[in-house]
Amino acid sequence: MKHLHKLLTALLLAPLPVLSAAAASNDHARPNIIVIMADDLGSGDMSCAGATKVRTPNIDRLAADGVRFTQGYAPSATCTPSRYSLLTGEYAWRQKAKSNSILDGDAPLCIEPGRFTLPEMLRRAGYRTGVVGKWHLGLGDGETKVDFNKEVKPGPLEVGFDDSYIIPATVDRVPSVWVKNHKVVGLDPADPIEVSYLKNISDEPTGIDHPDLLTHYGADEQHSCTIINGISRIGYMKGGKAARFKDEELATTVVRESVDFIERNAGKPFFLSVGLFEPHVPRVAEPPFVGKSGTGVRGDVIAQVDWQVGEILGTLDRLGLAENTIVIFSSDNGPILFDGYYDRSVEDLNGHNPTGGLRGWKYQTFEGGCRVPFIVRWPSEIKPRVSNQLISLVDVIATVAAITDQEIPTGTSPDSIDLSAVLLGKTLDNVRDHTVQHGVAGTMALRKGNWKYLPATAKDAGGGMGTGANASDERFAAAFIPEPMLFDLATDPGEKSNVIAQHPEKAKELAAELASIVSNGATPKPASSKP
């Protein structure tokens, strides 16, 4: 009794660390959610997936404490459509509009403002929502060209985010600036920004006329427009000199802004979407990573990806938030080595295999273009394991809706399947039995079970590679499927032998199923999936 009394007194007199951020966020129906999306990271680019030449200790730790999906997919083999699918729960190829291809840095927003999106759903559920890093979903309404000197909108804030600190497109595309909420960061009004993808509106040197000014490496024609920070880009930019980012500070900025968002919102449920810039081109490692990987600059920036993941995980640990935070780590499309800059990524590879032996690369509907890292950690609810369940980034919205008990309005997020039961270990069944893959030149494919069907690409198919890309480009050509193909991934994971002649009925069945998924406007839902 005496002891109990003493204990009670001690508890009452104790300061109140118990009412910390961790206690406030112990509501398991409203876990914090962080999606970390690498850019062009391959499923073979992580040591937890068997890579021996690159090391990713922080990602490995995430995987060891969560579910690592070996059959995780990006809905498209390029950035804009994949990210569109993540936020909306709809395959981007359903839209004839721009979400279907790689956007320029001055392209309008490809998600209609006010539309039901992952951040919008969570905002309505009382979450504070933020986005940091790569955006690449367009800015502005498209009626007038977006003016980077004024309020830059609509953008992330109009599709569900409360806070936004982003770079408009890719780091190889102008404008090379950060945008915080509606404003370009550090812009001097006396030096206004002008951007064009059509003609050279700048009096600044380009990679073509001044290769001597390039500080890192040369580039192909598409990437040889205005030189910014010693690197030539896609597109022309004038002005905004004080606002231009430094390539060697991108990762540090992503970490700083992500940590700041988490710290500011530690006491309430939050959703943070982090778009890392690596290992997309132009690859520039920050000083601590330069030359450290032994696999060239691409390996160095993969180490930088891993460092950023580690800093975010460390912040969750420090604030006592790790237990009740869902962390999803993935990539917007498969890997690629040469992608416009002569950065020696091919020469310095040192035996590393970014796709882990899959066929093809980014842009393509072969597995190498669409299979991506896919790890989900939620220590308080998810038992660590490796799963072979098919899962796609398009499933995040339905899965998160189920976890947070939110309704998806009928007719929205038509391709998203709720995989929460798989995550929570309630079923190990095959909840999603197929996934549609999509690449440049309008290429599509259907994976069903272990069968993979790729219809032939229309001969005159074009598009999807972005302004300035050369139609005879080898990366574009490699995406074309000259004749229909069928692979049995169970025996042939590398898609080496086309067995369509041996299994014509199977090919027919999959062709019909793909056609019906396209024409029905939605993915058929398994009985166990809610929306």
Nearer to ligand NG6, 333 or 355 (CB): 333
Do 177 and 148 meet the contact criterion of CB atoms below 8 Å apart? yes
Q: Of 222, 308, 435, 457, which one interacts with ligand NG6 (CB under 6 A)?
A: 222
Work out what residue 274 binds among ligand NG6, Ca ion, none; the CB cut-off runs from 5 to 8 Å by kind.
Answer: none
- The torsion angles phi and psi of 169, rounded to 5 degrees, stand at -125, -115
* Residues 6 or more apart in contact with residue 249 via CB below 8 angstroms: 286
* Residues 6 or more apart in contact with residue 339 via CB below 8 angstroms: 40, 280, 281, 362, 475
Shortest gap between Cβ of 365 and ligand NG6 (angstroms)?
Answer: 14
Work out what residue 194 binds among Ca ion, ligand NG6, none; the CB cut-off runs from 5 to 8 Å by kind.
Answer: none
**In this structure, what DSSP letter does residue 341 have?**
B
Nearer to Ca ion, 87 or 514 (CB): 87
Q: Of 243, 255, 281, 397, which one interacts with ligand NG6 (CB under 6 A)?
A: 281
Work out what residue 469 binds among Ca ion, ligand NG6, none; the CB cut-off runs from 5 to 8 Å by kind.
Answer: ligand NG6
Do 39 and 332 meet the contact criterion of CB atoms below 8 Å apart? yes
Shortest gap between Cβ of 280 and ligand NG6 (angstroms)?
Answer: 5
Work out what residue 475 binds among ligand NG6, Ca ion, none; the CB cut-off runs from 5 to 8 Å by kind.
Answer: ligand NG6
459, two tokens = 């001969």
SS3 487: strand
SS3 277: coil
Compute the residue count for the chain.
531
# of chain residues touching ligand NG6 (CB under 6 A): 19
CA 113 to chain centre: 21
Q: Of 164, 170, 331, 457, which one interacts with ligand NG6 (CB under 6 A)?
A: 170
Is residue 331 at the binding interface for ligand NG6, with CB under 6 A as the rule? no
Q: How far is the C-alpha of 93 from the C-alpha of 89, rounded, in Å?
A: 12
Nearer to ligand NG6, 120 or 339 (CB): 339
- Going residue by residue from 99 to 138, which x/- string records binding to ligand NG6, judged by CB under 6 A? ---x---------------------------------x--
Shortest gap between Cβ of 223 and Ca ion (angstroms)?
Answer: 15
**In this structure, what DSSP letter does residue 249 have?**
G
Nearer to ligand NG6, 58 or 101 (CB): 101
Work out what residue 300 binds among ligand NG6, Ca ion, none; the CB cut-off runs from 5 to 8 Å by kind.
Answer: none
Q: Which of 281, 513, 489 is nearest to 366 (CA)?
A: 489
Is residue 174 at the binding interface for ligand NG6, with CB under 6 A as the rule? no
Do 45 and 53 meet the contact criterion of CB atoms below 8 Å apart? no
164, two tokens = 């936004």
Shortest gap between Cβ of 80 and ligand NG6 (angstroms)?
Answer: 6
Nearer to Ca ion, 158 or 367 (CB): 367
Shortest gap between Cβ of 516 and Ca ion (angstroms)?
Answer: 29
Is residue 179 at the binding interface for ligand NG6, with CB under 6 A as the rule? no
Sort residue 92 into left (φ over 0), alpha (ψ -120 to 50) or beta. Answer: alpha
Is residue 79 at the binding interface for ligand NG6, with CB under 6 A as the rule? yes
**Listed ranges 44-52, 241-249, 333-341, 499-507: which one lies at the site for ligand NG6 (CB under 6 A):** 333-341
Shortest gap between Cβ of 394 and Ca ion (angstroms)?
Answer: 16
206, two tokens = 């380009």
- Going residue by residue from 444 to 483, which x/- string records binding to ligand NG6, judged by CB under 6 A? ---------------------xx--x---x-x--------
Q: How far is the C-alpha of 218 from the C-alpha of 207, rounded, in Å?
A: 7
* Residues 6 or more apart in contact with residue 42 via CB below 8 angstroms: 331, 334, 335, 354, 355, 356, 368, 372, 373
87, two tokens = 């936020």
Q: How far is the C-alpha of 382 from the C-alpha of 161, rounded, in Å?
A: 27
Cβ-closest position to Ca ion = 79
Shortest gap between Cβ of 171 and ligand NG6 (angstroms)?
Answer: 9
Nearer to ligand NG6, 59 or 102 (CB): 102
Say which residue the tokens 């380009």 belong to: 206
Q: How far is the C-alpha of 28 from the C-alpha of 324, rounded, in Å?
A: 7
Do 497 and 490 meet the contact criterion of CB atoms below 8 Å apart? no
Contacts with ligand NG6, residue ranges (CB under 6 A): 39-40, 78-79, 102, 136, 170, 172, 222, 280-281, 333, 339-340, 465-466, 469, 473, 475
